[in-house]
């Protein structure tokens, strides 16, 4: 009898966040289609952050595609569109010239759809659509395929004007629901090229902020957003360009920190030149986005599936992210859990953009390139979290601390940033803290004279920082 007992297999080694996200720029960018690579190389030559350019280019392309292509989610097993949530923090000029090169074609297309509806009105649009359909039926037996294709394109354009592609800076859940209803394919990205939306979001009531966050999370999972009254078919995605100084205010909002949104955070340390940016790849990029928009406009719809090999690559990345729980700083790991699903969306876009698709299958090559890109972009994402999330992260007790600050220092920082506030408001700014710990910390600050209560029973610092 063989009594040899095989040695126990060692558990797989989970890399640290620093190791997992350590991807060289050139290796990450190499998997992108040629129009991406060309415009990225030229724009980064101006000193712009490569990750900012790549993230903005990906967000532009996925927003242009809308719901014309979908793939099955890893977790929810529901169909999801390629659009993802991006918040791009810029230093100085919030809308630099290089960003306009990437987004102008998309914004112009949307503006033109909305302009037609405003200038003609719904009745005139309906009349033109009826006439165009009648002309198409008349020409079917006598005209060439090229002429018929042009007529069909004209009808599709009018249809998108009747229920135009939209983006909106109205962040109240009811306004978002209205935008979804009036968007011809139900794919709305929430943003405004002319405004920093952080003040708009901060101005919402707490209940509206929570409802807004629920809509974003539902859409990310492939579920129809729920407004509190009804489920709305469609998907939403964020594309915000904000000032770097707004990050602190945004991370001071509870729904952003306590119930993580599936948002990719990218911060650009350099905005490049203020104007006069000319790149030879601009026309090719605009043509590329225009072709994606035309596909969407024709009301085409393609459902992709993950090949077995692609699913294995993405599943391994999901396992690695889940394994970061013991290594990542307190609280940050919850904001990394969406990264495997982000890789799925990028893989869908890369596969869609191939000249020759593999029978509507996301191949292992696209999945591998998408995972590399996601890991690379996650370097900036993690850096933003480390710089902004720990300073306001509430603690479960007086010893648990993300940034090694004392509980007293954290509470002082909260009161300093928010100004005079009631004890109840301060308590609410934490994530259901233990009353014993909360009261002991506050009493310590009051007894030491660092915090005082005003005549209207509000808490404020004895000496402003």
**Exposed, middle or buried, 413 (CB in 10 Å: 0-12/13-18/19+)?**
middle
Q: How far apart are CA 117 and CA 161, in angstroms?
A: 6
DSSP letter for each residue of 268-315: ES----SS----TTHHHHHHHHHHHHHHHHTT--EEEEE-HHHHHHHH
Q: What are the residues facing 460 on neighbouring strands?
A: 452
66 Cβ neighbours under 8 A, 6+ residues apart:
81, 83, 165, 185, 187, 296
Q: How far apart are CA 318 and CA 324, in angstroms?
A: 10
Helix (H, G, I), strand (E, B) or coil at 359: coil
Q: How far apart are CA 306 and CA 179, in angstroms?
A: 31
pLDDT tens digit at each of 465 positions of the chain:
444 444 444 444 445 666 788 888 888 998 899 999 999 999 998 888 999 999 999 999 999 999 999 998 887 778 899 999 999 998 866 677 888 899 999 988 888 877 776 677 777 777 888 888 888 888 887 888 888 777 777 777 777 777 777 778 788 888 888 888 878 888 888 887 777 888 889 888 888 898 898 889 888 988 877 666 667 788 899 999 988 888 888 888 888 887 778 999 999 877 766 666 788 999 999 999 999 998 888 877 889 999 999 999 999 999 998 887 555 554 677 889 899 999 999 999 999 988 766 578 999 999 999 999 999 999 999 989 888 875 434 333 333 333 445 777 778 888 887 778 888 888 877 765 667 678 878 888 887 788 888 877 888 887 765
Domain architecture of the chain: domains with CATH: 17-114+163-390 (3.40.50), 395-461 (1.10.10.10)
pLDDT at 147: 80
Q: What single-letter DSSP state applies at residue 90? A: E
Which parts of 145-251 are beta strand (E)?
A: 167-168, 187-190, 235-243
Helix (H, G, I), strand (E, B) or coil at 9: coil
Q: How far apart are CA 179 and CA 35, in angstroms?
A: 31
Cα dihedral across residues 173, 212, 194, 50: positive or negative: negative
Q: How far apart are CA 42 and CA 423, in angstroms?
A: 53
Q: What is the pTM of this model?
A: 0.76
pLDDT at 135: 84
10 Cβ neighbours under 8 A, 6+ residues apart:
none
Neighbours of 112 (CB within 10 A): 14
pLDDT at 318: 92
* Residue 55 region by backbone torsions, left for phi larger than 0, else alpha for psi between -120 and 50, else beta: alpha
325 Cβ neighbours under 8 A, 6+ residues apart:
333
Residue found under tokens 């596969």: 351
């Amino acid at each position: 009898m063989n009594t040899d007992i095989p040695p126990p297999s060692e558990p797989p080694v989970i890399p640290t966040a620093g190791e997992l996200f350590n991807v060289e720029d050139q290796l990450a960018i190499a998997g992108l289609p040629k129009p991406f690579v060309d415009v990225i190389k030229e724009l980064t030559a101006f000193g712009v952050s490569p990750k900012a350019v790549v993230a903005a280019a990906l967000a532009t392309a996925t927003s242009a595609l809308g719901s014309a292509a979908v793939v099955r989610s890893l977790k929810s097993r529901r169909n999801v569109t390629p659009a993802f949530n991006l918040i791009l923090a810029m230093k100085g000029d919030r809308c630099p010239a290089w960003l306009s090169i990437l987004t102008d074609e998309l914004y112009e297309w949307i503006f033109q759809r909305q302009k037609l509806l405003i200038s003609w009105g719904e009745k005139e649009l309906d009349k033109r659509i009826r006439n165009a359909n009648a002309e198409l039926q008349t020409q079917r037996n006598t005209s060439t395929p090229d002429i018929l294709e042009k007529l069909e394109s004209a009808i599709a354009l009018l249809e998108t004007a009747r229920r135009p592609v939209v983006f909106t800076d109205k962040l109240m859940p009811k306004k978002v629901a209205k935008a979804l209803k009036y968007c011809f394919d139900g794919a709305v990205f929430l943003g405004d090229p002319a405004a920093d939306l952080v003040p708009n979001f901060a101005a919402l009531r707490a209940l509206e902020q929570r409802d807004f966050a629920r809509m974003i999370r539902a859409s990310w999972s492939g579920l129809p957003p729920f407004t509190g009254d009804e489920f709305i078919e469609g998907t939403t995605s964020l594309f915000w360009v904000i000032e770097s100084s707004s990050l602190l205010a945004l991370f001071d909002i509870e729904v952003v920190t306590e119930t993580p949104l599936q948002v990719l955070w990218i911060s650009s340390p350099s905005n490049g030149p203020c104007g006069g940016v000319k790149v030879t790849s601009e026309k090719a990029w605009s043509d590329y986005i225009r072709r994606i928009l035309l596909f969407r406009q024709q009301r085409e719809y393609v459902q992709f599936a993950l090949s077995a090999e692609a699913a294995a690559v993405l599943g391994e990345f999901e396992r690695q992210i889940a394994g970061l729980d013991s290594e990542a700083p307190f609280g940050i790991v919850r904001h990394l859990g969406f990264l495997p699903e982000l890789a799925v969306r990028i893989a869908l876009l890369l596969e869609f953009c191939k000249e020759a698709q593999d029978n509507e299958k996301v191949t292992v090559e696209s999945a591998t390139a998408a995972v590399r890109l996601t890991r690379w972009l996650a370097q900036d994402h993690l850096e933003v979290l480390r710089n902004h999330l720990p300073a306001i992260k509430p603690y479960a007790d007086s010893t648990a601390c993300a940034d090694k600050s004392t509980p007293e220092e954290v509470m002082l920082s909260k009161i300093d940033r928010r100004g005079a506030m009631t004890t109840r408001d301060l308590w609410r700014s934490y994530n259901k803290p233990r009353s014993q710990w909360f009261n002991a910390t506050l009493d310590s600050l009051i007894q030491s004279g660092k915090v005082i209560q005003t005549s209207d029973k509000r808490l404020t610092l004895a000496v402003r920082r």
